[in-house]
Amino acid sequence: MNFLLRLPALRGLILGPIVGLSLAFGAIGPVAATEDTSAFTDSSKVVAIGGSITEIVYALGEEGRLVARDSTSTYPKAALKLPDVGYMRQLSPEGVLSVNPSGILALHGSGPREAVDVLKKASVPFIEVPERYDNEGIVQKIRIVGRALGVDAKAEKLATDVEAKLVAAEKRTASIKERKRVLFVLSMQGGKILAAGSQTAADGMVKLAGGVNAVEGFSGYKQLSDEAIVTARPDVILMMSNAGPPVSEDELFANPSIASTPAGAARKIIRIDGGYLLGFGPRTADAISDLAVSLYGAQVTD
């Protein structure tokens, strides 16, 4: 299983049904640092692939350019009225091209790779937007999307506003001395915990909210042994509220390894919408603040 999770195509097929939209908000996949500064020659009919990409287009007030979106693009609700070209990690070139787009904006990690290669070779311009799980990565995404649509000035204003909010949100936990150890549980099947390591959106969010990822030594997602969970000593379990199949608190804390941790003893669990928590888009500053308050309560400063 761990070997399979390291293969992008198989990983999407295995985990896609488990978490639905949320993985496409950057929860899995390598971090891309290359910046694409291209602009569409014609940005009148754009397909947005990736929840944060769609959010940014709406935040820029340029939603009139969109002709379709992927199934992870569920915010804002108005986006749901657009044609759906499928799950971003299991794209069909035919489905994406069927809406006759003038340009394709796709978040890094879209796939499978074969489908993306076909789309890149098609006559429709394809811009891949890099994904980084930090403040700078969000600002970079906004600027790249704005450049692609030819609205650099609007994008710069949005980027400046979002960056200020991100910095303020991160400062709210600057004075916290004892950092909470957080275990992000992606799924629980057959009593096995699938948890987030480094280079994941979950790891990035935990750090931005002033917490510490309770597990280390691996990137991506991995099934943890009972010993690894006990050793991780999480103070809090973090999960997505909209992932499936759902895991009840009783089921989670009945797990012997979880039960033996500080989080298990206190039955401490935080559930947050996956797109909101892991999107790394315009709403991330609010998500950081909400997670910080859930972790530290009155210790969080305004």
CATH no. for residue 225?
Answer: 3.40.50.1980
Out of 123, 150, 171, a domain closes at: 171
Tokens 């710069």 — which residue? 156
Are 230 and 266 within one domain? yes
Are 139 and 167 within one domain? yes
Q: Is residue 238 one of the residues assigned to a domain?
A: yes
Long-range contacts of 291-295 (CB under 8 A, 24+ apart): 291/205, 291/206, 291/209, 291/211, 291/238, 292/169, 292/172, 292/173, 292/209, 292/210, 294/270, 295/173, 295/180, 295/182, 295/209, 295/210, 295/211, 295/236, 295/270
Which amino acid type is present at position 29?
Answer: G
Per-residue pLDDT of the chain (302 residues; tens, 9 = 90+): 343 343 333 334 334 444 443 454 444 554 444 556 789 999 999 999 999 999 999 999 999 999 999 999 999 999 999 999 999 999 999 999 999 999 999 999 999 999 999 999 999 999 999 999 999 999 999 999 999 999 999 999 999 999 999 999 999 999 999 999 999 999 998 889 999 999 999 999 999 999 999 999 999 999 999 999 999 999 999 999 987 778 899 999 999 999 999 999 999 999 999 999 999 999 999 999 999 999 999 899 87
Q: Is residue 8 one of the residues assigned to a domain?
A: no
**Burial readout 72-92 (b: 16 or more C-beta within 10 A, e: otherwise):** bbbbeeebeebeebbbbbbbe
Q: Are 192 and 21 in contact (CB under 8 A)?
A: no
Instruction: List the beta strands (DSSP E) in the chain.
Output: 46-49, 66-69, 103-107, 126-129, 181-189, 192-196, 212-213, 221-224, 236-240, 269-272
Are 294 and 240 within one domain? yes
Are 120 and 210 within one domain? no
Q: Are 288 and 209 in contact (CB under 8 A)?
A: yes
Q: Is residue 157 one of the residues assigned to a domain?
A: yes
Q: Is residue 253 one of the residues assigned to a domain?
A: yes
- DSSP state for residue 198 in the 8-state scheme: B
- Output the pLDDT for position 280: 98
Out of 171, 206, 229, a domain closes at: 171
pTM for this entry: 0.88
What is the extent of the structural domain holding 276?
Answer: 181-299
Are 132 and 275 within one domain? no
Q: Is residue 254 one of the residues assigned to a domain?
A: yes
CA nearest 129: which of 150, 156, 108, 152? 108
CA nearest 270: which of 298, 292, 254, 286? 292
Are 143 and 167 within one domain? yes
Out of 118, 146, 171, a domain closes at: 171
Number of structural domains in the chain:
2
Burial of 291 (0-12, 13-18, 19+ CB in 10 A): buried
Tokens 């108005």 — which residue? 78
Q: Is residue 231 one of the residues assigned to a domain?
A: yes
Are 164 and 217 within one domain? no
Are 220 and 257 within one domain? yes
Are 129 and 192 within one domain? no
Dihedral sign (CA 80, 84, 88, 90): positive
